[in-house]
Structure 1
Amino acid sequence: MAEHPPYPVGLRLTGRRVVVLGGGQVAQRRLPALIKAGADVHLVSPEATPSVEAMADAGEITWHRRPYAEGDLADAWYALIATSDPDANTAASAEAEAHRVWCVRSDDADRATAWTPATGHSEGVTVAVLTTDARGRDPRHTAAVRDAVVEGLRDGTLVAPHFRTRTAGVALVGGGPGDPDLITVRGRRLLAEADVVIADRLGPRDLLAELPPHVEVIDAAKIPYGRYMAQEAINNALVEHAKQGKSVVRLKGGDPYVFGRGMEELHALTEAGIPCTVVPGISSSISVPGAAGIPVTHRGVAHEFTVVSGHVAPDDERSLVDWPSLAKLTGTLVILMGVDKIGRIAETLVAHGKSPDTPVALVQEGTTSSQRRVDATLATVAETVVAEDVKPPAVIVVGDVVAVGPDGTAA
């Protein structure tokens, strides 16, 4: 048997009896996949790890709390032998052979009739890797190959085109705060499969350079306080390209629904009958402060944080923010799109009770190579923005967490 490579096959175990002998670490690793496969799993073991016991308590497996006994494998389709008793393992292996039950042995792969591959999953595809040379099995190498393939499929560096007809539609993808490595795995995969990408200026621009030449990239950058009809044009572009049968990605900075007008775009697509997928992104409201060493909450300092838009001033009739109430909160205030309004915002907060000495941090171009942090207080932030020439995009953090140092104490 050792002279021939194993024959790879996918077992369909739904509703079929699978016997697992031993309730230790091996069972704990293998049981979730068997449960997910829909197998009728029977665990035979006098003891089990807490995680395995929890599976039994939840009704996911049937636990026979006793040692292996002859006849346990008689009606099984598949068996996993993983006890700490060599004699029991040998006897169970012989029974499996007699009943023609495919059997995996954790203690002696050479005496098994089946091997468990290193597996991984990505969007409906299961990657299973086996070492073909029985004389030179290297589980770590096998796992490394599996990881490389799965990671490539997930992040789009290993592109596997769909050759069957794809359903045209739009994906609203949150690109994260700016660092291209902070886009979600699903977002990066959809970006790699797109025919058209409509990108914001705050999206992870470096990812656009990785797109194949045939992908059409449309610049949907919004210049602040200009191009007032830009959103309508973006909606029209999404609908038109999707109606042409193309796979469209709307690449947005942060999260599509955090001041990103994602719902407006979804409504436009829904009215046009275009299928749409929303892929959440890492919001700059928490990731940018974190990248600058600021926790938006910290034990003993802040038990809450509030995220608001500062794109209109507190005295502007269009403002929907209750600034007087925010001034009374003791937690952290995170302000997006508020660089040019921070002076009036600070004045309003102080006027309604916030201490002028409250720490403020402005983090410009957060998570990118151009990131910089500028510190001030509510009393000095307006002049600091001018003196330091702080430009958008910048996330503004107001509260005592700004002064929390790496040792966890306030400066």
Structure 2
Amino acid sequence: MSFPWAKEYTPKVPLMKWIDDRLPLPRFVYGAIGGGYPVPRNLNFFWNFGVLSGLALVIQIVTGIIMAMHYGANDLVAFATVEHTMRDVNSGWLMRYAHANGASFFFIVVYLHIFRGLYYGSYKAPREMVWLLGLVIFLLMMATAFMGYVLPWGQMSYWGAKVITGLFGAIPVVGEPIQTWLLGGFAPGNAALNRFFSLHYLLPFVIAGVVILHIWALHIPGSSNPTGVEVKGPQDTVPFHPYYTAKDGFGAGIFFIAFAFMVYFAPNFLGHPDNYIEANPLSTPAHIVPEWYFWPFYAILRAFTVDFFFIPAKLLGVLAMFASILLLFFLPWLDTSPVRSGNYRPLFRKFFLILLVDVLVLGYCGGAPAEEPYVMISQIASAYYFAHFLIILPLIAAFEKPLPLPGSITEAVLAGHGGADHEAVGEPAPVPAE
């Protein structure tokens, strides 16, 4: 614990004292999420998304285990077992729809979590490891979601697996052997289905392990906050419980209301109708698309249509798609501004909004057919995406004149949430009289 004023756990019940002396689990829980964990007093609802991501992961693990009890990882029966679960298993439809929509909600809260970190500079020192572990979780989520999309063995599952694994074939020399090794053959079939099912079942538990490391890394420097100013004393913090457990509880209530609405009233809204048709290697769908949360990266992949000297366009697209994620690992060192929060960086704030629109445009183009004008828009949006991180952010850090920072978190809170009125005119927020 990095806060010397943090309250120590002292069990009052004899049984809890006996347990804590022999296995300090109560002390650990109290220090991690209870009154023993001081948190900046000015956190807003954007700090709910970490807890919501954890809830989404729990939903996926629980519903996934139940789905696995009725699933047959064989290309002859996989589609039928999913339909059997939907039609004949008690509440099977609920588990299937909760699992399918749970993946989408998991990505929604994680994307919001990432963009909150981008805006408030949560990737900057001393929280680089928190950011890096978060990106590892994101990559594991993408791998898990892709393999899970294959398991229903519908048309989009089959052809999505064929297209995505085919990307490895673009890598010179080793690409085709890697593709064959991934699939266990030359096309998606029984071997691929077994491998994907095994990994899809395993990876959520790996994600849970990395989440523990992520939280551990967070507890060393403590949470960031909307001002970007570090905690200077006990007056800047409040105990996590009950202040933020109540706030997270409210956020969880909104999350579950939205989740229940999707599961009960629009369960197939975020899916693709072709996945209710059994996989047929002899019938190619008119428009092959991955799940919606992959669309921005799919748009970057398809943005490359012309070979560059001896480098094929397909290989360029694959490299750019992976680079668009790997680039985020270097963000703590690309953005050299000493000011963390976008609230005090007027120029950064404008370009952040442009980046947000740019990613939404990429997402729209990724779900659209591979034709004009979507290809040209994808090319422009992809170029801006890389320019934002590699060119614009370093230039902003070098030339931007940030607004004056408050002297402490307490000063910002008492002045009215960071002194927003004063930020608008570039004046420092006044220190309230004692």
TM-score normalised by structure 2 residue count: 0.21
When you count strand as a share of all residues, which structure comes out higher?
Answer: 1
When you count helix as a share of all residues, which structure comes out higher?
Answer: 2
